[in-house]
Amino acid sequence: MEFGQFCPIAKATEIIGEKWTILILREILMGSTRFSELQRGLSLISPAVLTKRLNTLSDYDLILKKKIPGQRGHEYFPTDATKELLPIFIALGDWGMRWTRQHLTNLDYDVDFFMLYLQRSIRPEKLPGKETVVQFHFTDIKDNPYWWIIVKGNDVEACTISTGKDVDVYFTSTVKSMSDIWMGQLTYKKAVSSGELKIVGPAILTRNVTTWMENCMFSKD
């Protein structure tokens, strides 16, 4: 994609304006380093397109591609050029919150993507004890309606298979309602009052969920 213009916006768009490129950089800035992690955050991208985009970003020195010692595959890290994009991406997200939310459809509420970012929102240091298990029941999903987030020390893992561990907090809701809460479009209090959300667990964990499971960075709550 070439525009044939010396305008810096045109040249920047030539590099990062192709489909998926900005989202790949978003995932790398959010901490994804491996191919499989990037695929999880970009569930509809094909492996071939992801490989092509990563190679292009490496050619433009936007990412550092490093061989994993003793293993097959590579890891990908942001360069200074990509790190400087973070405030631009945040501004773009703020714009999206103001002007694009009304255009969301049911197809946009991807549970895998949501749980990945919910997992990243956990603050282990705010949870008491050595291990916390949180169960989510999404009533609008037929396949894999149950998800678990397991926090052990500083490690946080989301999965769809029960480990048999005792659950500390239960959430029952739709993916849309939980996503709206996380994005700051709906509060926990209002969702519980309206029946859109049910939370069961010790008051110290359910009274103020956002102390240990933060909302999206674009949320104004």
pLDDT tens-digit series, residues 33-92 = 999 999 999 989 999 999 999 999 999 999 999 999 888 889 999 999 999 999 999 999
Q: How far apart are CA 113 and CA 46, in angstroms?
A: 16
- Decide if pLDDT at 106 tops 90: no
Q: How are the residues of the chain apportioned to helix, strand and coil, as percentages rounded to the nearest 5?
A: 45, 20, 35
Residues 6+ apart with CB under 8 A from 110: 43
Q: How far apart are CA 99 and CA 204, in angstroms?
A: 36
Domains located in the chain, CATH noted: 8-100 (1.10.10.10), 106-211 (3.30.1050.10)
* pLDDT, position 83: 97
pLDDT, tens digit, 9 for 90 and up, residues 1-39: 788 888 999 999 999 999 999 999 999 999 999 999 999
Query: Average of pLDDT values for 156-182?
Result: 95
* pLDDT, position 71: 87
Q: Kindly list the distances between the CA atom of residue 72 and the CA atoms of 38, 67, 68, 69, 99, in Å, as whole numbers in the listed order.
A: 16, 8, 7, 8, 43
Contact 178, 215 (CB under 8 A): no
pLDDT, tens digit, 9 for 90 and up, residues 182-204: 999 999 999 999 999 999 999 99
* Count of positions (residues) in the chain: 221
- pTM (two decimals): 0.85
- Decide if pLDDT at 179 tops 90: yes
Contact 34, 27 (CB under 8 A): no
- Decide if pLDDT at 221 tops 60: no
